[in-house]
Amino acid sequence: MNIIVVRSQIEWDALPRSFEDATVIEVRSNAPIVINSNPGSSRAVLHGSSRAELHGSSRAELYGSSSAVLHDSSSAVLHGSCRAALYDSSSAALRDSSSAELRDSSRAALHDSSSAELYDLSRAVLHGSSRAALRDSSNAELLDLSRAVLHGSSRAALRDSSSAELYDSSRAVLHGSIGAVSRDGRALLSERWMRIYAYPTIPHITFDGEKRIVMGCRNHSLAEWESNEWNNDSEFPNDGSEKSKLRHFALETAKKWLEEFGYD
């Protein structure tokens, strides 16, 4: 594999349209390099504190403390403490402690301890212990131990042990063993399905901030469940049977969830 070092815009513009052999173009420049396209059979790699502006369908890998601004359908992979600003329909994969700001309909995949701020219609998938702040109508899917703070009308789907803090009219759908805290009663906290007994159990908080629990076809407030737990005598009487014990355990689990994640 060949390696070419580019230190200025003039040197980049002088590159051939394509290379016969696989070539790595190392960008080492403190002045920003505008990349409209990658020469054939090559890939651009930014090192040190290099800066680049990507257009078209160009691609780059960033290392060290380098940075990039992505437009159109360009894409980048960020490592170390690199950072990027994404516009249009550009995309990026963030690793290590890299960070990005996403706007328009851009998208990103976050890994490790990377972070991002999302605006407009941008979207992201968070892995590892990554984190994001969502604003406007942005949306994200959170996995592993990732976490997010949602503002505006943003929305998120939480899985695994991810967590979120919700403001304004933001929404979250929760799956698995996760948690969300709402700072606004209008935020949807949970649509979590637990199959502990014969029917699904769904603890949730309404847009008005009311704590409710759905058990099968019964949908009551927490206060109503506490005052009348045995409200289905024909199918689940309070007789100490195995099925009634499981229903009681499902209710107690739902109440515990509301106690732990229901913000007052």
Q: Which of 96-100, 139-143, 178-182 has the lowest mean pLDDT?
A: 178-182
Retrieve residue 139's tokens: 């949306």
> Is pLDDT at 205 greater than 80 in this prediction?
no
Give the confidence band of 214 by pLDDT, cuts at 50, 70, 90: confident
Looking at the structure of the chain, the number of domains it has is 1
Tokens representing 183?
């700072």
Contact 123, 138 (CB under 8 A): yes
> Residue 166 burial by CB count (10 A; 0-12/13-18/19+): exposed, middle or buried?
buried
Q: Phi and psi (nearest 5°) for 248?
A: -60, -40
pLDDT of 216: 87
Q: Under 8 Å CB-to-CB from 37, ≥6 apart: which residues?
A: 55, 56, 57, 58
Instruction: Give the model's pLDDT for residue 128.
Output: 96
Which DSSP letter does residue 194 get? B
Residue 71 lies in a domain: no
Give residue 258's pLDDT.
83
As a whole-number percent, the residues of the chain with pLDDT over 90 amount to 71
Q: What gap in Å lies between CA 151 and CA 179, rounded to an integer?
A: 17
Please say if the pLDDT value at position 186 is more than 70: no
Find the domain containing 225 and state its range: 201-261
pLDDT band at residue 180, thresholds of 50, 70 and 90?
low
Q: Quick: pLDDT tens for 93-136.
A: 999 999 999 999 999 999 999 999 999 999 999 999 999 999 99
What is the C-alpha separation between 261 and 188, in angstroms, rounded? 12
36 found inside a domain: no
Establish if 217 belongs to a structural domain.
yes
User: Is residue 213 in a domain?
Assistant: yes
Per-residue pLDDT of 229-261, as tens digits, reads: 999 999 999 999 999 999 999 999 889 888 876
Is residue 207 one of the residues assigned to a domain? yes
Token pair of 135, please?
A: 């604003």
List, in order, residues 6 or more apart from 15 with CB less than 8 Å away: 4, 6, 25, 39, 42
pLDDT at residue 188, rounded to an integer: 45
Burial label, 235 (beta-carbon count in 10 A; 0-12, 13-18, 19+) = exposed
C-beta of residue 166 within 8 angstroms of C-beta of residue 148: no
- Per the listing, tokens 């219609």 go with 121
What is the rounded average pLDDT of the residues 12-26?
96
How far apart CA 27 and CA 42 sit, in angstroms, is 12
| Higher per-residue pLDDT: 203 or 39 | 39
46-55, 72-81, 172-181, 221-230, range with the lowest pLDDT = 172-181
In a domain, residue 11? The reply is no
How confident is the model over 9-26, as a mean pLDDT? 96
Q: Report if residue 234 sits inside a domain.
A: yes
Q: Is residue 187 pLDDT above 60, yes or no?
A: no
- Residue 51 located in a structural domain: no
